[in-house]
Every structure is written in structure tokens, then in C-alpha cells.
Structure 1
Amino acid sequence: MNGDAELLLVDWLAQLEPHWRLLLFAAVGIIAGLGLDVIVRRVPLAVEQAWLEEMQAADASGTPPLHAPSHPAALPSAAMTRAGSLASPHLARLDTAPTRRWQLSLLSGVLSVAISWRFGPTWQSIGALGLVWTLIALAYIDYDTQLLPDMLTLPLLWVGLLCNLGHWFAALPAAVVGAAAGYMSLWALYWVYWWLRRREGMGFGDFKLYAALGAWFGWTALLQILTLACLLAIVVAGSAWIAGRLRSDQMFPFGAFLAAAGIATLFCGNGLMIWIGGTP
């Protein structure tokens, strides 16, 4: 968060005693976690169903679909649905984890309490709740399916810019530049990797999520977010590769690490920029 941003009080929240405010945020977070469970299970299925309908319409008309899946992980799933299976294995298994609901509720509740503690009875707290809940949903969806749906990433980007009309988390010019720079930087890396290896290194959803984080935190936070995400990915993917659970040529959910880095930046600010010699 930009250290120059002014904390804007929400009057009715400010009137609550701190312990009651923490309990309120905990309860709201737990309830939100139940909603996140529905989103994590239903949104990928809705995206896949939309792809299936578009492919069937394209088959009927003899024209290519306008919005074909851009992420390679989506292609086998779309092919399976086209062949007659209404839900691919990696999406169908989303309904087979009953503990996921309580895991999401606990994580959402804990982070919501942390937001109340970090930002107090302010409008920044309200905005941070929406940001964190959306990032949790995106991280789980990307982990499960390697998809980052536009119906979540694009609203996250626009809401970030709207919040920063009041400089809640960054100055508006920095947020606009952050959104553009976030998208274009990963877009450029994508094509460099394609030119060198002749295969995709990430999905387009990663570009949009990185742009959304730039819209929330400004361009000065982008290097920190990418650095943290890469470090997390190296540790997790490297451990999975050593354990034999990940092939060297297998895609992994980088968006989940971007989401985790975004949550860390929300709570810790741009402190890493000082360590690497930049400007916080």
C-alpha cells in the first residue's frame, strides 16, 4: 500500500469496539468463504460450458470459434466435452472435496480479521476484503484447473482502478500505469518464451491478473509481486519436481502464486522494493 494514502474512516465501523469489529470481520469472512466454495466449483464449469456451446455453434456453422480457449490446459477439457463428456476429470473432481468448504471459510475468516487489524474501520478495509476474497477464489481455481476466468480478473482490474480514484491503495496515475505495465510485461515475456521454446509458458489469464494487481497497488509494486510469485513458484514447483509429482515440461498454476504475492503486498506494502534498491 502507498504510504501516502489517507485512511478513510467508515463511521459505523469506527463506532464499534475493536474486539467487536474483529468478530464482525471474522463472521463476514467465514460466510464469504462459503460463497467462495461455490465460486471455485461453479465458475470453471460455467466457463467450460460456454466454450462447449461456442464450439458446437462453430461446428454447426462451419466457422472457427471467436473465443477459443487460449490456455493449453483448457484444450483437452474442451476436446473431451466436444466428444460427449459434459465435465472433464479435472473439473469434475471439484465436487469431491467436502473439506474444501471449511478450508476456504477458515482462510477467508483469518485473512478478513487480518484486514480489520491492518486497516481498521476504513474504506480501505472494505476494498481489501473484496480484493482478498477474489484472489483466494482465483488461486484455488487456477490450482484446480489452470484457468483464470475473465469474469473474475477483469472486474478485479476495474474495481482496483475505481478504488484508487480516491488513492486508497495507490495514486490513480500509478494504478493506471500499473495495469498497463502489468499486462504488457507478461505479454512480452510470453512471446519471448514462445520465440525461444516454441511453446506457451503461461496463460493469458496471468497477464490479466498481473494487470489487476498493478491497478490495485500501482506500478511500483509490480516488481515485488513478480519476484515473490517467482520465488514461491520455484520453491513449490521445485519441491514437486524433486518429489516426482511434476514433470519438467508440465504447466503449473502461476496465477495462484501471483495471487499469494498480491495478498502479501496488501499487508506488507512495497518493502521489498527497498531491499532491492528501488523506491517503495
Structure 2
Amino acid sequence: MPHLWLIWLLFVTVYDIRQRRVPNWLVLVGAAFAIGVLAMNAQPFGVKWTEALMGSALGFGFLLLFYVVGLMGAGDVKFAGALGLWVGWHPLLPIWAMASLLALVHGALWLFLHRWPWFPQLALLLSGKPRGDDTTGLHKRARPIPYAAYLALAAAVWMVWGRQS
């Protein structure tokens, strides 16, 4: 089961880095799979229903504040809720901390390359600007930091190293 969870995290990471959004179907797949393994009592991280639901509510609710003030996209918030179903509420703080550090490095590098464009392709990749014409209106505001991708990477690191301590 952990391998399927890592594959889901990989899909979220790649999608968010490339598109700067996490589609609802991808969040729903992860949430449905988390509920399924909880129902079958096959949760790979030993998380029980109460802890999973608390993790989902905490992940969604805390990041919802950032969405409300315009600092985060809705996909990031929904992904945090689905992630909380998987890991419960205990590891959310270290996962958020690691994801926030990655986002800070991303933002600092983006600012540096924006002011001194030595590597224009890297600056474009970090900026998250849509490719081609945007007729759907999905990119009304630039979202240079793919926070869900960093949450997914931090969760994968937690799975591999953080649970051993």
C-alpha cells in the first residue's frame, strides 16, 4: 500500500509543478483510496479513523486560512485534507514545516532570478506562468509556488525517514 501512496504523491507533485494546480479528480482518488484502506483496516501507517479524520480536518482547515487571504490555491487546500486522511494529524506539523522550507527556497530563488535573470528557463519554470494562450481562465493569478508538490515531497520524506524515529 505505501507504494501506491507514493505513486499518488508523485502524480500530485508532477501535476502541480507543471500546471500549478491539483485537479479535483486527483485529490478525490487519494482521499477515496485513504478511506478504502481505513475501511479495510489496511492503513499502512497505523492511522485509525479518528486520527485520519482529525488530520483531514486540520490539514484542510489550517490551509483554508491561507486560501481565504489569497496566498494559496484551492487545490493545495484540498490536497492537504486528503493528505491528512493518510497520515493523521500528528505528522502534519513536520510535513508542513518541511514543505514551507521548500516553498521558501523556491520563492527566494524565484525572486533572485526575477531580479537577475541569469537562467531565464529556470526563472520561467519557477514562475509557474501558463504556457500558451489561456482561454479557460484557470490562471487568472500567478501561483509561482507549487505548495501541494512540496507537501507531497515532504510527506514522502516523512514516510521514508520520519516514521523511523
Aligned partners of 2:59 and 2:108: how far apart in 1? 25
- Look up the SS of the partner of 2:91 in the other structure: helix
Matches within 5 A, 1:1-280: 127-165=1-39, 166=41, 167-169=43-45, 170-191=47-68, 194=69, 200-244=70-114, 245=123, 250-252=142-144, 253-270=146-163
The 1:150/1:250 distance shift into structure 2, 3 A limit, reads closer
The structure having more radius of gyration, on CA atoms, is: 1
Aligned partners of 2:101 and 2:17: how far apart in 1? 17
The residue aligned with 1:91 is: none
> Structure 2, unaligned stretches of length 5 or more?
115-122, 128-140
The residue aligned with 2:131 is: none
The residue aligned with 1:41 is: none
CA RMSD of aligned residues (A): 2.1
> Structure 1, unaligned stretches of length 5 or more?
1-126, 195-199, 272-279
Identity %: 28
- Look up the SS of the partner of 1:229 in the other structure: helix
Q: CA deviation at 1:150?
A: 0.9
1:158-180 deviations in Å (ceiling 9; x for gaps): 21133234243112210111111
Q: CA deviation at 1:255?
A: 1.3
Aligned partners of 2:158 and 2:35: how far apart in 1? 17
Contact 1:224 1:270 in 2 (8 A): no
Normalised TM-score (structure 2):
0.75
Aligned partners of 1:223 and 1:270: how far apart in 2? 13
Aligned partners of 1:189 and 1:270: how far apart in 2? 28
Normalised TM-score (structure 1):
0.46
Count of aligned residue pairs for this structure pair: 138
